[in-house]
Amino acid sequence: MKHLPWMIRLALALIVAPWFTASMAFASTELKLTFTQQPPAPEAGANILDIKLQDEKGQALDKAEVHLSVWMPSMGTMPRMNAKAMVAPQGSGVYRATYDLAMAGTWVIVISVDSGGSKQTFNYTLTTGSAGLISNGASTTHAGESSAQSQIMPVGEGRMQQIGVRFAEAKIVPITKSLRAAGLVEADNTRRTELTLRYSGYVESQFRGRVGDHVTAGTPLITVYSPELASAESEFLQSHGGDSGAALHQSTVDRLRNLGLTTADIARVKKANAVDKTVVIKAPQTGTILEVNVRDGASFSPGQSLYTIGDLSTAYVVGRVFQQDLVDLRVGQPVSLTLPEDEGRSYKGHVDLIYPSMSEGEGTGNVRVVADEPVPGLRPGLYVDLRFPINLGSHVAVPTTAILYSGLHKYVFIDRGGGKLEPKEVTTGKSSEDWTEIRSGVNAGERVAASGTFLLSSEAQLQSALPKWRSP
């Protein structure tokens, strides 16, 4: 018999097998189902399941719509495997379902019965080589959506102990997190000066001309000769004490002021009674020479940048923060700064500015951080590690490990006592490394499974307990 082709064995089994072969009855509040399997022990390939429907009075139910869904849940890297199934009415309340199993193993069978607008779903599992169907709990009655009772999973305390389920209580806890970002040191542009002159001329000599040199305000940098300036000074000297009048003399003074000479410079020219052939140009501020754009003998024009001098003692750090984290930052918020070469020490700072625009196409925004204490070695272009301690307030929360992610949906398993769990879809909010806010779905004081949720999800799939994972 075992050596005959499976189609011949199936035909013989249908001829000789009585109705009660491998039959089981599971009663709900409305329907009674009786099964006959051919072959009695399902196997890989074609199988037949005769389903006999009776109402609560024992009368055969013929005008019902019966659907059969058969699948093997995903395991590891193997995706969920669906089996082809068809149901045809045979009369006298019997509905014949044919289905093909692609391989040996344990399969889930869901039988949906729609009779008179009332839809019931029955959940079973079968294993190839073993006779009979195993019920996965009470049936589900649908008037639209499934009832809450249908979601209860009878896992059993022994089974939960084997899986390693550990429970935790949902409670109101303060949620804090530490946001980390990479920052780039930039010079403070408000503390840098462009050295320019209001007249044209030539560089006679240069005293300081190296980038990186530190200078103090008033330090001589270059000497220049300007025919335009010399002409203006000559006119000033000629108008002073002559017959040209006070108005002309004041106009020559105004011209010198427009060329950038101070009152002290004009008084010096008046006292010397001679035109300056060369003028000493001094550093306008204390700082570091960042740019040098002239050399000995070079010419320059009005407004041309000759030197750029900046105060690097107050450099700031610009951090790049992802857009979902920007909402948690505030101006004035404390920040810790750590240099890459000095990971053992951090320096205090604060958020000085949250930039109003985002980096296009990158999903990040810039945050400017100012150090509250001197940071040795802080120079433009240096990368700095930034940490923002954030207090998110107190909320109803569960351990982060208790949340099961299923695509766009999130679930927790609530302890209902007696070895029973209820998978509940939740809406989450803010989270830290250990806790996640629950905005809906779980109340404070309820116990949820905080470990073993991955294995519980497999149990839930077998029992079709998660609504979003049910077969349509």
3-state class of 429 per DSSP? Answer: strand
What ranges do the domains of the chain cover? 6-144, 162-176+394-469, 179-188+313-390, 189-308
What percentage of the chain carries pLDDT values higher than 70? 84
What integer is the mean pLDDT of 123-128? 84
What integer is the mean pLDDT of 373-396? 87
Q: E strands within 73-147?
A: 81-83, 85-91, 94-101, 106-115, 118-127, 134-135, 140-142
The residue length of the chain stands at 472
pLDDT at 200: 92
**Position 246 confidence tier, pLDDT thresholds 50, 70, 90:** confident
The answer, yes or no, to whether residue 4 has pLDDT greater than 60, is no
Distance CA 45, CA 61 (A): 29
Contacts 24+ apart (CB under 8 A), 274-278: 274/237, 275/230, 275/233, 275/234, 275/237, 276/229, 276/230, 276/233, 277/225, 277/230, 278/204, 278/223, 278/224, 278/225
Task: Give Cα separations from 15 to 8, 12, 93, 393 (angstroms).
Answer: 11, 5, 20, 71
CATH, domain range 162-176+394-469: 2.40.420.20
**Position 351 confidence tier, pLDDT thresholds 50, 70, 90:** very high
Q: Name which residue leads in pLDDT, 150 or 30.
A: 30
Distance CA 333, CA 337 (A): 13
List the single range of 65-74, 199-208, 365-374 with lowest mean pLDDT.
65-74
Is 140 exposed, middle or buried (CB count within 10 Å of its CB: 0-12, 13-18, 19+)?
buried
405: Cβ–Cβ under 8 A, 6 or more apart, which residues?
none
Q: Name which residue leads in pLDDT, 334 or 63.
A: 334
The answer, yes or no, to whether residue 363 has pLDDT greater than 60, is yes
List the single range of 80-84, 241-245, 262-266 with lowest mean pLDDT.
241-245
The answer, yes or no, to whether residue 94 has pLDDT greater than 90, is yes
Q: Among 144, 154, 128, 122, which Cα is nearest to 32's? A: 122
Distance CA 223, CA 216 (A): 17
Cis bond upstream, residue 380 (ω within 30) = no
Q: Among 422, 384, 380, which Cα is nearest to 404's? A: 422
Distance CA 190, CA 316 (A): 11
**Position 79 confidence tier, pLDDT thresholds 50, 70, 90:** confident
Token pair of 156, please?
């059993």
- Average pLDDT value for the chain: 81
pLDDT at 318: 93
**Helical spans, DSSP H, in 169-289:** 227-239, 246-258, 263-272
pLDDT at 335: 93
Q: What is the pTM of this model?
A: 0.49
pLDDT at 471: 42
The answer, yes or no, to whether residue 138 has pLDDT greater than 80, is no
3-state class of 159 per DSSP? Answer: helix
The answer, yes or no, to whether residue 77 has pLDDT greater than 70, is no
Is 107 exposed, middle or buried (CB count within 10 Å of its CB: 0-12, 13-18, 19+)?
buried
Its CATH architecture, for the domain 189-308, is Beta Barrel (2.40)
pLDDT at 8: 47
Q: Name which residue leads in pLDDT, 298 or 12.
A: 298
Query: Rounded to the nearest 5°, which phi and psi values hold at 312?
Result: -90, 0
CB–CB of 67/74 below 8 Å? no
pLDDT at 80: 74
CB–CB of 396/438 below 8 Å? yes
pLDDT at 109: 87
Distance CA 312, CA 219 (A): 18
pLDDT at 33: 86
Say how many CA atoms lie within 13 Å of 204 toward its Cβ: 12
pLDDT at 194: 92
Provide Rg for the chain, Cα atoms. 43
Report DSSP state, residue 146.
B
What percentage of the chain carries pLDDT values higher than 90? 24
Distance CA 268, CA 144 (A): 98
CB–CB of 292/211 below 8 Å? yes
Token pair of 115, please?
């009779």
**Position 12 confidence tier, pLDDT thresholds 50, 70, 90:** very low
6-144 CATH pick, 3.40.50.970, 2.60.40.10, 1.20.120.80, 2.130.10.10: 2.60.40.10
469: Cβ–Cβ under 8 A, 6 or more apart, which residues?
406, 460, 461
CB–CB of 416/456 below 8 Å? no
**Position 48 confidence tier, pLDDT thresholds 50, 70, 90:** very high
3-state class of 136 per DSSP? Answer: coil
What integer is the mean pLDDT of 410-423? 86
Is 79 exposed, middle or buried (CB count within 10 Å of its CB: 0-12, 13-18, 19+)?
exposed
179-188+313-390 CATH pick, 2.40.30.170, 3.40.605.10, 3.10.129.10, 2.40.37.10: 2.40.30.170
Q: What is the pLDDT of residues 155-194, one digit of tens each?
A: 788 888 887 888 999 999 888 888 899 999 988 888 889 9
pLDDT at 189: 81
Task: Please report which helix (H) or strand (E) contains residue 460, including its range.
Answer: helix 453-462
CB–CB of 328/305 below 8 Å? no
Cβ atoms < 10 Å from Cβ of 409: 14
pLDDT at 150: 41
**Position 197 confidence tier, pLDDT thresholds 50, 70, 90:** very high
Q: What is the pLDDT of residues 426-472, one digit of tens each?
A: 999 888 878 999 998 888 889 998 887 777 776 665 555 555 444 43
Angle at 430 between CA 172 and CA 321, to 5 degrees: 145
Greatest C-alpha distance within the chain: 142
Q: What is the pLDDT of residues 252-262, one digit of tens each?
A: 888 889 988 88
